[in-house]
Structure 1
Amino acid sequence: MGSASPLVLHTECSDGWGGQEIRILEELRGMRRYGYATALIAPQHSQIFSRAQADGFAVYPVRFKNKGHLPSWARVFKLIAQLKPDVVNTHSSDDSWMAGFAARVLGVPLIVRTRHVSTPIGSAFSYKAFPHLILTTSQAIREGLMACGIDPERIVSVPTGIDSNRFRFSSSWRKEIREKHGFSGEDIVVGNICVLRSWKGLDFFIETAVQMPPRFKFILVGDGPQRLRLQDKAKGMGLEGRLTFPGHQEEIEKYFSALDLYFFTSYANEGVPQSLLQAQSVGVPMVVCRTPSVLETLQGAEDVLPVDYGDVPSACEALEKAVQIVRVPDDRRKEKNERVKSKHSIESMLGQIRELYGQWGIRTRRISQDSHGASHEERR
């Protein structure tokens, strides 16, 4: 690629759709706005493949069946050799082994490995041998990698950013969603918006809901491998009519406006949980489980009550206490939105990454449009 248009090639072997994949797509979109050429390698049946393709990105299919799948290795080598990217950014285990190794052998100028989750790594070898630079979505994840003997000079925390213009309170959205799901003006609506998987701690959500007074209504927005089991559990515990499962929703910003309280029950694996930033940006008071990444994300935030995972009495007490701050004044909501915008915006995230690219001599001067449509020339 020419120096005015460096190519950033992302790889992702995941089939699912969650915070990690959303961040990758936002990076693709953002770097395209700033004049970089951007592309993705992913499984053809994955959600990120179809979504990136629909957004007009060059997307190349690789099965990533497992680390020993030789056709995937050959395909990755061939693609990187043909595309000659300036940056290869890998994200999950299998694609990091294949694309990281291939990029090293083929002499890609900058190889980046992004670590999105806080689970302990199985082996530090691929982190030490392949990437020049490791990005983490939180400082807690960075410290975990350092404890595995990885050079701290190569690890940089770049928290995930959100679109604070999208995630802001709307009374019309609140009315629309509450009417759609039969919530009255007197109901206290408690929600969680996530992929319904095991470590999201949603059994704790349900077990707490059972103990709350009838005026508390609950909603779990999202889909995932645990959905049917959770629905059966809620039914068995007598929560029909009080706990709603609307499934996956594209316009989740509307659901945040409909909530009175956000009950975040994840107990592991989180980097910077995007839903916490989204709830904060909308101005929804929160009850959260104590984990290092969660407390890091919400440092200095108002209207946040932490509890220990599984402590139902404490969670019930926190939700009752949070009711006192449910009706957040408009000026407080605006302050929260501005605070998220200043610390956790997409543009801040992209700026940090572009700064790192620049340190490796990868810059663009192409005229492009920013997120508001204004033309500008990049001089980084």
Structure 2
Amino acid sequence: MKSLHILHSESASGWGGQEIRVFQESELLLEQGHRVSIICQPDSFLWKKCQTVGSSNFNCHPLQMKNPANPFSFSAVLRILKKTKPDIVHTHSSIDSWLVGSASRLLGLPVVRSRHISIPIKGAFPNNLLYSQIPRKIITSGEAISEIVKSVSGVKTQNVKSISAGVDFRKFDFNTDGRKIRDELGVKPGQHLVGKIGVIRGWKGYDYLLEAAPLVLEKHPETRFVFVGRGPGFEQTQSIARSLGLEKDLTLLGHRDDIPEIMTGLDIQVLASFTGEGTPQVIPQAFAMKTPLVATRVGSVPQLLGNGERGVLVEPKNAVDLANGILKLMENPEMRNEFAEKGYVFCKNELGIDRMINETISVYEEALEA
């Protein structure tokens, strides 16, 4: 296969699973000898990460993308596309999909659109154009999202491909020592450490885990909780934790780069989202680290957890069910070990980065031939 030049665009400014995947795929494409360009917000975490890439085959173009109808942004995108001459343009969020996608279509460049979240799409005009007319192919991060996209007027089923997020076993090695984070938090041997990792925003369900924490502490008062990540709900989460009297039981670490070390130090990892999820990055990562999971039945999560064979599934927006799920794992060490082993085997076979990037490149090739 010939070397390709892929241009990614991402208008989101945060650093969650979606942005991590854009950067991860870019690194993997570079490793395979392809060229990569990225258009992103100049004030974003992605822009900062791009500054760490030392490859001569990589370029990053900062661009303000606040309004998809901004003519100045559209003109800037046209200039970038004409200068870089990519083979494939891969868009990710709504604003950049309008701006970069429509500019690419105008220039006759093949567009691939990714849909990372399982929030319903308003399928009427003009949203249907964003999925049925601008991209040649659409990649989703889970089958549940594929079904949502296929329901949009004008979208052809054969143009939609589900590719789950992959995990890099070189970074996420279950042999990593987890004592550092436990020492940092003052967690003693025998104490349970329950964690949640991800952007702190409304639909991620942090509020429900906060409500569940006192129910867990009633039965196991020695339990410690840790939240890792930042986001628009960070301060509110701090405030709710204080109002519930959880200051001694819960630590909010903010953004951290040592996720493998933190994850391997957890006894239980929680995903409490009530919408939006496709294949959350933290699930394959937890599988790789052999960290047992309690997760809500949203998006493609039930399929990832084998409908309960690789982790405990609970109802979304239900603090009592969430607490019971945590307690179930906490009080059954054999179950924790069984889930950890099954999750690891599944991840090793199905959720590696090689499979993810090879399937993505296959979609690029199909888009070029379409």
TM over 0.5: yes
**2-structure distance, mates of 1:87, 1:279:** 32
Q: Does 1:139 align with 2:143?
A: yes
In the alignment, is the contact (CA less than 8 A) between 2:118 and 2:275 conserved in 1? yes
**1-structure distance, mates of 2:26, 2:367:** 19
More off after superposition, 119-128 vs 296-305: 296-305
Q: Which has the higher contact order (CA 8 A, sep 6+)?
A: 1
Q: Which AA in structure 2 matches 1:93? A: S
Deviation of the 1:350 alpha carbon: 0.5
Q: Which residue of 2 aligns with 1:151?
A: 156
Q: Which of 284, 289, 295 in structure 1 is aligned with 2:296?
A: 289
Residues paired across the two proteins, number: 358
In the alignment, is the contact (CA less than 8 A) between 2:5 and 2:36 conserved in 1? yes
- 1:234-287 superposed Cα distances (whole Å, 9 cap, x missing partner): 111111110111111101111111111112101111110011111122112221
Q: Which residue of 2 aligns with 1:84?
A: 85
Q: Does 1:100 align with 2:101?
A: yes
In the alignment, is the contact (CA less than 8 A) between 1:217 and 1:243 conserved in 2? yes
Q: Which AA in structure 1 matches 2:287? A: Q
Q: Which AA in structure 2 matches 1:119? A: I
5 Å-filtered alignment, 1:165-314, equals 165-170=170-175, 173-213=177-217, 214-299=221-306, 302-314=309-321
Deviation of the 1:310 alpha carbon: 2.8
What is the DSSP-based 3-state SS (H/G/I as helix, E as strand, rest coil) of the residue aligned with 1:40?
strand
Deviation of the 1:31 alpha carbon: 0.9
**2-structure distance, mates of 1:212, 1:130:** 49
In the alignment, is the contact (CA less than 8 A) between 1:186 and 1:215 conserved in 2? no
In percent, how many aligned pairs have the same letter?
Answer: 31
Q: 1:68 to 1:332 in 2, by over 3 A?
A: closer
Q: Which residue of 2 aligns with 1:118?
A: 118
Q: 1:353 to 1:18 in 2, by over 3 A?
A: same
Q: Which residue of 2 aligns with 1:378?
A: none
Q: Which AA in structure 2 matches 1:98? A: L
Q: 1:157 to 1:117 in 2, by over 3 A?
A: same
Q: Which residue of 1 aligns with 2:74?
A: 73
Q: Does 1:339 align with 2:365?
A: no
**2-structure distance, mates of 1:360, 1:97:** 18
In the alignment, is the contact (CA less than 8 A) between 2:274 and 2:317 conserved in 1? no
In the alignment, is the contact (CA less than 8 A) between 1:285 and 1:325 conserved in 2? no
Q: Which AA in structure 2 matches 1:274? A: Q
**1-structure distance, mates of 2:300, 2:45:** 26
**1-structure distance, mates of 2:335, 2:321:** 23
- 1:38-84 superposed Cα distances (whole Å, 9 cap, x missing partner): 11111111111121132133011211120121110000011112221
Q: Which AA in structure 1 matches 2:135? A: P
**2-structure distance, mates of 1:168, 1:357:** 30
Q: Does 1:21 align with 2:19?
A: yes
Q: 1:168 to 1:335 in 2, by over 3 A?
A: farther
**What TM-score comes out, normalization by structure 1 length?**
0.89
What is the DSSP-based 3-state SS (H/G/I as helix, E as strand, rest coil) of the residue aligned with 2:226?
strand
What is the DSSP-based 3-state SS (H/G/I as helix, E as strand, rest coil) of the residue aligned with 1:292?
coil
Deviation of the 1:334 alpha carbon: 5.8
Deviation of the 1:330 alpha carbon: 8.0
In the alignment, is the contact (CA less than 8 A) between 1:39 and 1:59 conserved in 2? yes
In the alignment, is the contact (CA less than 8 A) between 1:41 and 1:59 conserved in 2? yes
**1-structure distance, mates of 2:299, 2:47:** 32
Q: Which AA in structure 2 matches 1:354? A: I
Q: 1:361 to 1:97 in 2, by over 3 A?
A: closer
Deviation of the 1:326 alpha carbon: 3.7
More off after superposition, 313-322 vs 224-233: 313-322
Root mean square deviation, CA, Å: 2.0
Q: Which of 48, 60, 63 in structure 2 is aligned with 1:50?
A: 48
**1-structure distance, mates of 2:293, 2:283:** 8
What is the DSSP-based 3-state SS (H/G/I as helix, E as strand, rest coil) of the residue aligned with 2:306?
coil
Where does the alignment leave 5 or more consecutive residues of structure 1 unmatched?
363-380
Deviation of the 1:190 alpha carbon: 0.8
Deviation of the 1:90 alpha carbon: 0.6
Q: 1:21 to 1:222 in 2, by over 3 A?
A: same
Q: Which AA in structure 1 matches 2:184? A: K
Q: 1:141 to 1:100 in 2, by over 3 A?
A: same
**2-structure distance, mates of 1:200, 1:331:** 26
In the alignment, is the contact (CA less than 8 A) between 1:284 and 1:326 conserved in 2? no
Q: Which AA in structure 2 matches 1:18? A: G
**1-structure distance, mates of 2:311, 2:293:** 5
Q: 1:351 to 1:270 in 2, by over 3 A?
A: same
**2-structure distance, mates of 1:17, 1:317:** 31
**2-structure distance, mates of 1:329, 1:313:** 20
Q: Which residue of 2 aligns with 1:6?
A: 4
What is the DSSP-based 3-state SS (H/G/I as helix, E as strand, rest coil) of the residue aligned with 1:306?
strand
Q: Which AA in structure 2 matches 1:26? A: Q
Deviation of the 1:339 alpha carbon: 2.4
Q: Which residue of 2 aligns with 1:162?
A: 167
**2-structure distance, mates of 1:328, 1:299:** 15
Q: Which AA in structure 1 matches 2:225? A: F
